[in-house]
Amino acid sequence: MLKKGEEYKGFYVIDITDVKDYNCKGIYLRHKTTGLEVFHLLNDDEENLFSFCFRTPVSDSKGLPHVIEHSVLCGSEKFRLKEPFITVKSKSVQTFLNAMTYSEKTMYPGATFIEKQYFDIMDVYADSVFFPVLSETTFNQEAHRLELDDNGNLSIQGVVYNEMKGQFSNLYSCAYRNLTSSLFPGTTYEYSSGGDPLEICTMTYKDFTDFHKKYYSPENCLLYLYGNIPTEKQLDFMAEKYIPRLEEKFNLKTEKADYKAALPKVYDEIKALETFTPEAKTREAKFIAPNGIEGNIVSLGFYAGEPDMEQYLLYMLLCGSDSAPLKKRLIETKLADDCVSVFTSAANQMAFDFGLVGVKKEDGLKAKKFVLDSLKEIHDLGFTQDEIDAAIMSIDFDLREIKRNGGPFSIDILEKVMDGWNFGLHPAERLTPISSFEKVKEKLKTDKNFLTSLMEKYFIGKNYVCTIIEPSEKFLQERNAKETQFIAEKAKTTDKAALKKQLDALHEYQNSQDSPEALASIPYLKLSELPEKLPRKQAEVEKLENGISLFTDKINTNGIIYFKIFFPFDLLKPEDYIDMPLFSDSLLELGWNGKHWADCLREADKIVGDKTSSLMPCSFVETEKSLKFMQNYKDENFFDRDWLGFEMKFLEEKLPEAFDLMAEILNGLDFKDDERLTNIITENQVGAKPSLVPNGLDYCSSRAACAIKKEAAVTEILYGITQLKHLLAYKPKNTKKLLEKFKSMYKTIRDSGCIINITADENSLKKAKALLPDLISKADLKPLKPKADYTKEDYLKLVYKRSDSGFDVIKTDTQVGYAVSVFECGKPLAKKTGAMDLLLSWITEHTFWEKLRTVHGCYGAHATIVNLSNIAALTTYRDPNPKESFELFIDCLKEAAAGSLSREDIECAALSFYSQYATPNAPSVHGAVALKRVLRGVTQEQIDDYIKYVLELNAADLKEAAETLVAASQNGTKAMLCSKETKTKGNILKID
């Protein structure tokens, strides 16, 4: 074990810290000559993660760090491939692989639970960030270039360029960026590090290479490590493979005078861009943004200084739930349709931001005054003990829960590490949230004026920044006009013949194949080296004494119990399905037992970490084995149902109170507060239209598939364009009538019986099961009734503007789009379907990547078998020309059918496929997957068999799969989201 003050392979151990809040040992080191810093959180987690992090602030919105993030992974000294990132992704078992650009930093993380694979991935990433090729070809591909179409018309293309056009078509993405910009002017946070498309196209190749030279040095690199691989072993890797090369490249041969310094070194120029001192005055900033809502967004931002848990407590007290005093006031005011509350970090500072959404232009001053008056009123009244207890419970729960927010929990910890390390603080500086909050709770006990003083410290009489954002059709119109003007100016000095020659060379490169020698530079795991069995994800089923089915998943949950009761809603008439999303959203928000909704939420927040009601359609996966599995439970009626779930997650010590609360809610739900329902409808409507572009892939997917199967039709009704149109049609004058309908629907659903689901550790599960009889009695829970026999056609009749054209087109204000094609093929979980699944996985990471992302310019393109079904889906994401993508889909399938994969190709594709099933889940998600599989008739044995089929496939199997996919795709249905100006045939769906 390393010791503080020692040296190992040129690395000096600056500090060793017990990071008790995360059960880790924090080892902080610096290399003597290169200045490379390392922080290893050593623990017993087998899922190891590394991340090469660089401080990369900006002073403009050209998007240099974002383009560099994409480009360093497009070939390096050791790995002379076109795109080592996608190659390593397609040849490895990894649980997380990404590159991420922030306002002040860029991070390159990778994770896996296989040690050999870990160092292979780290090798590719290290070489990529420090020794990239950064060719002009890569710059033209990833940043921007002029493109010529078949008619000689010019356009601007580029992967990052098109990605950011998508971001700048999103109202709330623009609003958040404007908010940060107004709060921190003169710093990196004023600008878009991802890039504003209107500025990206001004970036030069020299800008590009200079940025890498400036910031991607070992002295500016912070290497984060997490997991159980010994620190020495990881330092051995860096010392052997990279330190000598870094010393040579950067001419770093002598020891740095300050290599023993206790804190990180940050360049002065970086400090200047990342440091902000608030002005001693109140300011106002105005912006326009993409259209999507009626009225403006008016928000007030208050500076809070360096982060601490006092601020977090204060934010949760004010806005932690809809019943929190400020949030409740913002929700109920007639000045707006919705509200916004943000607790954000920038420049090593926190800021509170509170505001209103949908404010009439003439009411801007009233909105600002309302926020200020509300804060003053809350200060004068003080917080009730219930409000304090609810906020404390929320924070305690949040600090204990193990989460995976799009990646391993170690990524969440990395974010906290970088919140200090990036700004010159000790990397463990921000890793004491639990112990820090315990100190805050002590202050609460000993200082009766503590919260009043916090309100005065941050809000009362303090300066603020008022940000006014006006959604307008002019926003995209003006941007389109500027882009057109830029292209016109470029056209004056562009030799089209020379440009065509340049583009031909680029496209030839993009369509070329890496040499076998280059591909061999990235090793891959042999299939024989994979773990024999995957972790079990199948809930245990038992019938309780009263006939109710209990589903349990016993795993480590860190003392948290995830408890759910599901009622089927498929005994409702199909026409009632259209109201189920609003019904579900409002169920726990209307109050119970005659109490005001805010009092109910506050009482619940003192007991549980979270409570939700949600919808979960569960179609049966029909196979020979699933039908046999069904026979084991043939009288229990839980297969192939549509569920309404009531979920609570709470600490084990709150178990009796939580069960009592669940019974009280189920027995006493009220359907009387029409004013509250009106607020909920208005909030949902405000968020609906702006959701169209960022969630365009989901809308297109549900629309394209809705005619294929009953469950797809149900998905379109609950979540698709059909639901969006219905949501926008709700009228406040009808809420009383709607509440009566909800009351009737709830009675039908309650009378349909239920199932119970618990995810917990062994001790907590035992305690919960012991208390179940009492809960079942108090809540009057009953076994399930059989389902109704409604057909696909019964639901299809409800689909908005249904057509037999097979091609739906969603038109809206946007600069990018989405394309989706779906079709049936094979049988679920069969060997031949597995062959198609594997081939589509390979196509995603090869043909789609090359033709749709690299050449065509989409930010993303994907091909897959959907969710253990027999439906294939081909999709694009942030697509500059979705209309053209459908033909490219077919070209890619035909190319696969015409070729033949090598044994190495097949094995590498199998590794990537295996990763999908091997990636760990957070406890809550693990429990949900384990339950849903059983409800769909899928056992762990079937999953294991399916993976076994895939791992044994050969070239002939995949050849047959390709031919099947080509044939099946001819009968597919399509959907596209595009701009209003796109000329196209099809069933046009306008969202006005």
Give the number of other CB atoms < 10 A from CB of residue 511. 11
Radius of gyration of the chain (CA): 29
Q: How are beta strands 807-812 and 973-979 bridged, if at all?
A: parallel
pLDDT in tens, 269-290: 999 999 999 988 999 999 999 9
Q: Tally the domains of the chain.
A: 4
pLDDT in tens, 650-690: 999 999 999 999 999 999 999 999 999 999 999 999 999 89
CA 623 to chain centre: 32
561 and 507 co-located in one domain? no
Beta-strand runs (E) in 452-491: 465-472
Query: What does the pLDDT read at residue 689?
Result: 87
Closest CA to 147 of 658, 881, 670, 870: 881
897 and 971 co-located in one domain? yes
Q: How many CA atoms lie within 13 A of 861 on its CB side?
A: 32
762 and 844 co-located in one domain? no
219 and 338 co-located in one domain? no
Position 474 in a domain: no
The fraction of the chain above a pLDDT of 70, given in percent, is 100
pLDDT in tens, 814-849: 999 999 999 999 899 999 999 999 999 999 999 999
**Cα dist from 878 to 100, 166, 320, 872, whole Å:** 17, 6, 33, 20
pLDDT in tens, 568-592: 999 999 999 999 999 999 999 999 9
Of the pLDDT bands very low, low, confident and very high (cuts 50, 70, 90), residue 732 is confident
Contacts of the segment 483-488: beta carbons below 8 A, 24+ positions apart: 483/156, 483/197, 483/198, 483/201, 486/156, 486/198, 486/201, 487/146, 487/154, 487/155, 487/156
Closest CA to 638 of 562, 570, 587: 570
CB 546 within 8 A of CB 767: no
d(CA 159, CA 73): 13
- Burial of residue 257 (CB within 10 Å: 0-12, 13-18, 19+) is exposed
- Mean pLDDT, the chain, integer: 96
Least confident span in 321-335, 361-375, 462-476, 898-912: 898-912
Domain boundary pick from 795, 821, 848? 795
d(CA 626, CA 741): 37
Q: How many CA atoms lie within 13 A of 186 on its CB side?
A: 7
**3 state DSSP class of 245:** helix
d(CA 582, CA 613): 11
Give the number of other CB atoms < 10 A from CB of residue 152. 8
Closest CA to 38 of 65, 7, 66: 7
Closest CA to 218 of 458, 40, 55: 55
* DSSP per residue, 290-309: E--SSSEEEEEEEEEES--H
227 and 328 co-located in one domain? no
Domain boundary pick from 763, 795, 827? 795
Phi-psi region of 546 (alpha: psi -120 to 50; beta: other; left: phi over 0): alpha
Position 481 in a domain: no
Position 278 in a domain: no
243 and 392 co-located in one domain? no
Position 821 in a domain: yes
Domain of residue 882: give its range. 803-990
pLDDT at residue 142 greater than cutoff 80: yes
Where b means 16+ CB within 10 Å and e means fewer, 666-705 reads: beebbbebbebbbbbbbbbbbbbbbbbbbbbbebbbbbbb
**3 state DSSP class of 880:** coil
pLDDT in tens, 359-387: 999 999 999 999 999 999 999 999 999 99
End-to-end CA distance of the chain: 64
Position 580 in a domain: yes
The dihedral sign for the CA sequence 258, 259, 261, 266 = positive
Query: What does the pLDDT read at residue 849?
Result: 93
Query: What does the pLDDT read at residue 535?
Result: 86
**Cα dist from 116 to 238, 329, 527, 536, 557, whole Å:** 15, 55, 13, 24, 29
898-904 mean pLDDT: 91
**Cα dist from 491 to 62, 150, 383, 604, whole Å:** 21, 16, 64, 64
303 and 266 co-located in one domain? no
d(CA 139, CA 204): 9
Position 374 in a domain: yes
d(CA 318, CA 354): 10
Domain boundary pick from 795, 822, 846? 795
735-753 mean pLDDT: 98
Q: Which amino acid is at 375?
A: L
d(CA 488, CA 597): 58
CB 147 within 8 A of CB 138: no
pLDDT at residue 889 greater than cutoff 80: yes
Position of tokens 């003053």? 376
pLDDT at residue 992 greater than cutoff 80: no
695-724 mean pLDDT: 97
Beta-strand runs (E) in 208-265: 221-227
Query: What does the pLDDT read at residue 246?
Result: 98
Position 862 in a domain: yes
d(CA 905, CA 883): 31
d(CA 966, CA 953): 19
pLDDT at residue 714 greater than cutoff 90: yes
219 and 321 co-located in one domain? no
- The residues with which 978 forms a beta bridge, in sequence order, are 811
* Axis-axis angle for helices 655-668, 597-605 (nearest 10): 160
- The residues with which 226 forms a beta bridge, in sequence order, are 41, 49
Query: What does the pLDDT read at residue 150?
Result: 85
d(CA 709, CA 714): 9
Beta-strand runs (E) in 137-276: 145-148, 154-157, 221-227
Q: What is the CATH number of the domain that holds 129?
A: 3.30.830.10
Cβ-proximal residues to 318 (8 Å cutoff; 6+ apart), any chain = 324, 325, 326, 327, 341, 352, 354, 378
Position of tokens 């969630």? 695
- Burial of residue 155 (CB within 10 Å: 0-12, 13-18, 19+) is middle
pLDDT at residue 990 greater than cutoff 90: no
775 and 820 co-located in one domain? no
Global confidence as pTM: 0.95
Give the number of other CB atoms < 10 A from CB of residue 463. 13
236-262 mean pLDDT: 97
827 and 781 co-located in one domain? no
pLDDT at residue 396 greater than cutoff 90: yes
Helical (H) or strand (E) element with 369: helix 364-381
The fraction of the chain above a pLDDT of 90, given in percent, is 95
d(CA 960, CA 823): 17
Closest CA to 157 of 857, 703, 783: 857
Query: What does the pLDDT read at residue 239?
Result: 98
Least confident span in 87-91, 339-343, 410-414: 87-91
Give the number of other CB atoms < 10 A from CB of residue 915. 20
d(CA 112, CA 118): 6
- Structure tokens of 213? 């030279």
Query: What does the pLDDT read at residue 531?
Result: 84
pLDDT in tens, 498-541: 999 999 999 999 989 999 999 999 988 889 888 878 889 999 99
772 and 860 co-located in one domain? no
Query: What does the pLDDT read at residue 555?
Result: 96
- The residues with which 471 forms a beta bridge, in sequence order, are 289
**Cα dist from 661 to 70, 608, 775, whole Å:** 50, 9, 10
pLDDT at residue 78 greater than cutoff 80: yes
179 and 70 co-located in one domain? yes
- The residues with which 567 forms a beta bridge, in sequence order, are 644
Position 206 in a domain: yes
